[in-house]
Structure formats: structure tokens, C-alpha cells
């Protein structure tokens, strides 16, 4: 989160100046906007372990809560030859072997090699037999790689290279990271028959919604939730003289696919999918609320100011300069904005940003969600930027220790799963 905030802050500044000062004009500026988006995705550096933990957390919650409706454990067995816990235990071990040791003076460009005979000495056979071998890029596969600059899909799917001395190195740490976080949902999704993909997507969406509700309850313990089958917002927070309507978008943003095929046309399609559609859905709910189809105690449904907020597991990076010059509102704002004068501009954020906001508000109890929105909206340069830009700029990019502790507690048994002799560490 910290690294990505800095990266996006710099990129927003660059893009804002380039577009506002007229250095990139016309149709080329939209190409520039699309390519800047790709670059941020390719270069992003979240707090890595927290995102791996979250991936495991979502799938394990999915398994426990919705097992009677959909057996996700069996899909992991079919795809990887391991159950969910075993699969993530191995990924944690593997990724941990490649994190540079800053205490020993290693920097981000150092690339530790993994000696299989030493590092994985006591590893149980099922891990090395299938999963590890499937992550190794074979020599004969190089000729099939599309060499376009942003296409890292082959290297995310198979991020390891075996050297002549049998040691393994990742082609790039980001490729290894993307391959074991961003692409996992789609690895499972793409392996399923067409008629089963929707079922998987639905129940994984439920797990995402559960995760979202857990964070929102920490932000405001009076948050209003409704049953899933009702046509209402996913969450409502009452604040003084205003309410916040939340829509939690469950569909995943396929970052790897966008890196490979993204054009300005596809960029605008993604804007439509991840910004316009969920916002339009929220506008329909606001219209219902104004018409009295559902009520909020103590709130005047006709006059109250409403803040629409769309939350996604991940979403395309957005830029203030690009938003302003191209008037992205024309692609994003539904017609309802012309009818209702008490609806505020929309806010879009992903889970990393929402987690950070939870951590900040827990430490700053006198601040409200609307206070943070006001800070963002009053920023002349970054009012339409990603939330992490504002959080970073204002020193509010807090790490969510509550969730990290939950994640760590979930993974306590990993070592015992992996090794034949629990007392012997590799």
C-alpha cells in the first residue's frame, strides 16, 4: 500500500501535468492514459504478504461458510492436487524464500536463488511433485511467449526458472506475486466448465461481500445491512446530515488480461464495467429510497445528501489529469445525476484502500468517512485520483493490523502441513 501510494502519487502528478499543459493531446492522450494505467498495474507493490493472506482468507472463508452449496476444496484438488490450506501454505513458503533480506543488505534488485535440495529438504512429496513443477518455466516454452512489453501472463503463470545447478530463481518477483494472487481466481474460473463458472463466481462473490461487511462494521458499528435478495445498497452508514450508500462489486478485475490486450477501447469498456455499472445500480437504489421503497430511521428520504461509494476487490487505476481532460464523467455518471441535486460525486475504492481507511479511522475516532471524502474532494490536483494517492499524500495510509493478525491466526498450521518433520526447519 505504501509503495503503491507513492507510485500512484508520482504518476498522477506526471499525468496531470502532461495533460493539463497540453504535452499530450487528442486521441493520443487517451492512449497515454491507457498505457499509464498498464504501467501502474505492472509496477504496483502492495504490502505483499497482506494481499497473499487476504487471498487465502477469502478462499478459506468461502470453503467453510458455503461448503454445503459449493465444494471449492474439490476444485483446488482437481486443479492443483492440493487442498486450499496446503496450496496457500506452499505459496507462502515459496514466496518467503525470495523476499530480499534487508538486514543482510539485500535490496529489491537482489534475486535470491532457491536451492531445492536445501530449502525444500523436508517438504512433503505432494508439493514438489505437481505444484512446484507447474510453476517452472520450461525451455521449450520461450518460443511461445508474446514479447509485447506488458504481456507478463506467461511469466505470472510460470514464474520460476531452473538453473543448470538445479537452483530456482523467479523471472521477476512481481510476476511471482501476481501469479499467486491476482491470477488465482481466474486460474480456478478458467478451469471450470462454462455452466459451473457462474456458480463459482456467485459464491466467491458472497465471500467477498462477507469480507467487505466485516471491514465496514469496524468503520461504523451502526452500519445498516440488508438481506442479499433485497434491492437495496450493500451497506448504509448514517452520518450527521448525510448518508453513505455502498455497493460492493464482486467481480474481479483481470489485471493480467488487461496488461496483454488493453487498448483505449478496452480501457473505456473497463471503466464502464467497474465504474458506471455499479454506480448506476447505486443510483437505482437511491431513486428507490427517494421514492420511499425502503426507509432509514431518522432520515428524510427526500432531502438528505447521499454519498455513493463503490468498493471492489481491485479496480483499474484512475488519474485526476486523465479524468479531467477526458471528462470521464461522461462515461461514468448515470443520467440520474441530472435529476437529483442532493447526490454527491461518486467515490471508487478497492479493498487495500478500504482496509487502510478502517485502520486510520480506528486511530482517529474524531474523524468520519465524510471528513476523508472532503479532504479528497478539496484537493485541486488529485480530487479524482485513486484513494491511495490521497491517503499517501496526507499521511493516512495506515496498515491494517487487525486484519493482519486475523490472517496470521488463520495460517498458524502452515508449517505442520508442509514438512515431514515439524521440528526440523529447512
What pLDDT, in 10s, does the model give residues 376-420?
Answer: 999 887 888 888 888 888 999 898 999 988 888 888 778 778 776
Helical axes 194-219 vs 184-191, angle rounded to 10°: 150
Q: Could you tell me the pLDDT band of residue 148, with boundaries at 50, 70 and 90?
A: low
In a domain, 412, yes or no: no
Q: Please check whether residues 128 and 13 belong to one and the same domain.
A: no
Of 190, 209, 244, the domain-final residue: 190
Residue 421 lies in a domain: no
Last residue of a domain, one of 168, 190, 212: 190
- Say what the pLDDT of residue 7 is: 44
Task: Please check the confidence at residue 275 and state whether its pLDDT lies above 70.
Answer: yes
The reported pLDDT for the residue numbered 131 is 73
Query: Do residues 262 and 34 lie in contact, with contact meaning Cβ atoms separated by under 8 Å?
Result: yes
Nearest partner of 187 among 176, 179, 199, 177, judged by Cα: 179
**Hey, how many other C-beta atoms are within 10 angstroms of the C-beta on 358?**
21
Whole-prediction pTM value? 0.80
Is the pLDDT assigned to residue 22 strictly greater than 80? no
Whether 206 and 244 share a structural domain: yes
Q: Which of 157, 172, 190 is the C-terminal boundary of a domain?
A: 190
Asked if residue 17 and residue 60 are part of one domain, the reply reads no
Same domain, 162 and 241: no
Instruction: Check whether residue 87 and residue 236 sit in a common domain.
Output: no
Q: Say whether pLDDT at 241 is over 60.
A: yes
Provide the pLDDT for residue 117. Answer: 66
Shared-domain flag, residues 295 and 385: yes
**Is 260 within a domain?**
yes
- The per-residue b/e assignment along 290-303, b for 16 or more CB within 10 angstroms, e otherwise, is beeebeeeebebee
Same domain, 164 and 304: no
- When the pLDDT of each residue in the chain is averaged and rounded to a whole number, the result is 77
Report H helices in 67-135.
72-80, 84-96, 116-119, 125-126, 133-134
pLDDT computed for residue 197 by the predictor = 92
User: What is the average per-residue pLDDT within 295-324?
Assistant: 82
Q: 244 in a domain, yes or no?
A: yes
What contacts 250, CB < 8 A, 6 or more positions away? 201, 204, 205, 206, 208, 209, 313
The predicted structure's pLDDT at residue 110: 53
On whether residue 64 sits in a domain, the answer given is yes
Do 73 and 36 reside in the same domain of the chain? no
- Structurally, the chain folds into a number of domains equal to 2
Task: Tell me, yes or no, whether 33 and 103 share the same domain.
Answer: no
pLDDT digits (tens, 9 = 90+) for 216-231: 999 999 999 988 888 8
- With bands split at pLDDT 50, 70 and 90, how would you rate the model's confidence at 273? confident
Measure the CA–CA gap between 354 and 351, rounded to whole angstroms: 5
DSSP 160: E
Cβ neighbours of residue 295 closer than 8 Å, sequence gap 6 or more: 289, 301
Residue 41 has pLDDT above 60, yes or no: no
What integer pLDDT is reported at residue 329 of this predicted model? 85
Q: Is residue 262 part of a domain?
A: yes
For residues 169 and 223, membership in a common domain is answered with no
326: its cell numbers: 477526458
The residue among 368, 99, 84 whose CA lies nearest residue 219 is: 368
Query: Does any domain span residue 411?
Result: no
Per-residue model confidence as pLDDT tens digits over 70-103: 999 999 988 888 889 888 888 887 777 776 554 5
- Which residues share a beta bridge with 237? 244
Quick one: 128 and 253 in the same domain?
A: no
With bands split at pLDDT 50, 70 and 90, how would you rate the model's confidence at 48? low
Query: Does residue 41 share a domain with residue 97?
Result: no
Q: How far is CA 40 from CA 3, 10, 26, 110, in A?
A: 11, 10, 22, 22
CB 397 within 8 A of CB 388: yes
Q: Is residue 252 part of a domain?
A: yes
Domain that holds residue 247: 2-47+197-406
Task: Give residue 142's pLDDT band: very low, low, confident or very high (50, 70, 90).
Answer: low
Amino acid at each position: 500500500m505504501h509503495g503503491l501510494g507513492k507510485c500512484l502519487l508520482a504518476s498522477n502528478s506526471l499525468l496531470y501535468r502532461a495533460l493539463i499543459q497540453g504535452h499530450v493531446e487528442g486521441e493520443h492522450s487517451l492512449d497515454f492514459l491507457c498505457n499509464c494505467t498498464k504501467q501502474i498495474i505492472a509496477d504496483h507493490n502492495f504490502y505483499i504478504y497482506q494481499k497473499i493472506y487476504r487471498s487465502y482468507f477469502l478462499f478459506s472463508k468461502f470453503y467453510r461458510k458455503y461448503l454445503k452449496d459449493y465444494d471449492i476444496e474439490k476444485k483446488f484438488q482437481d486443479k492443483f492436487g492440493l487442498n486450499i490450506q496446503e496450496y496457500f501454505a506452499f505459496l507462502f513458503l515459496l514466496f518467503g524464500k525470495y523476499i530480499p533480506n534487508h538486514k543482510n543488505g539485500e535490496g529489491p534488485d537482489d534475486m535470491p536463488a532457491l536451492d531445492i535440495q536445501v530449502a525444500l529438504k523436508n517438504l512433503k512429496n505432494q508439493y514438489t511433485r505437481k505444484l512446484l513443477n507447474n510453476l517452472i518455466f520450461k525451455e521449450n516454452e520461450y518460443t511461445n511467449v508474446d514479447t509485447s512489453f506488458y504481456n507478463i501472463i506467461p511469466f505470472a503463470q510460470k514464474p520460476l526458472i531452473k538453473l543448470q545447478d538445479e537452483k530456482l530463481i523467479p523471472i521477476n518477483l512481481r510476476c511471482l506475486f501476481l501469479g499467486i494472487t491476482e491470477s488465482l481466481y481466474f486460474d480456478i474460473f478458467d478451469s471450470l466448465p462454462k455452466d459451473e463458472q457462474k456458480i463459482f463466481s456467485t459464491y466467491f462473490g458472497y465471500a467477498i461481500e462477507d469480507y467487505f461487511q466485516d471491514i465496514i462494521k469496524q468503520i461504523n458499528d451502526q452500519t445498516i445491512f440488508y438481506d442479499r435478495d433485497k434491492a437495496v445498497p450493500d451497506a448504509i452508514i448514517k452520518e450527521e446530515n448525510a448518508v453513505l450508500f455502498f455497493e460492493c462489486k464482486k467481480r474481479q478485475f483481470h489485471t493480467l488480461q488487461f496488461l496483454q490486450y488493453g487498448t483505449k477501447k478496452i480501457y473505456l469498456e473497463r471503466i464502464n464495467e467497474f465504474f458506471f455499472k455499479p454506480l448506476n445500480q447505486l443510483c437505482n437504489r437511491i431513486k428507490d429510497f427517494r421514492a420511499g421503497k425502503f426507509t432509514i430511521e431518522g432520515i428524510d428520504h427526500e432531502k438528505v445528501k447521499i454519498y455513493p461509494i463503490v468498493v471492489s476487490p481491485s479496480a483499474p487505476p484512475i488519474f485526476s489529469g486523465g479524468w479531467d481532460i477526458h471528462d470521464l464523467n461522461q462515461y461514468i455518471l448515470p443520467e440520474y445525476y441530472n435529476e437529483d441535486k442532493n447526490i454527491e460525486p461518486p467515490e471508487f475504492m478497492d479493498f487495500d484502500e478500504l482496509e487502510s481507511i478502517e485502520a486510520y479511522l480506528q486511530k482517529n475516532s474524531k474523524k468520519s468517512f465524510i471528513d476523508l471524502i472532503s479532504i479528497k474532494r478539496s484537493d485541486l490536483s488529485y480530487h479524482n485520483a485513486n484513494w491511495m494517492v490521497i491517503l499517501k499524500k496526507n499521511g493516512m495510509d495506515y496498515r491494517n493490523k487487525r486484519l493482519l493478525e486475523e490472517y496470521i491466526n488463520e495460517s498458524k498450521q502452515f508449517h505442520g502441513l508442509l514438512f515431514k518433520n515439524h521440528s526440523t526447519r529447512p
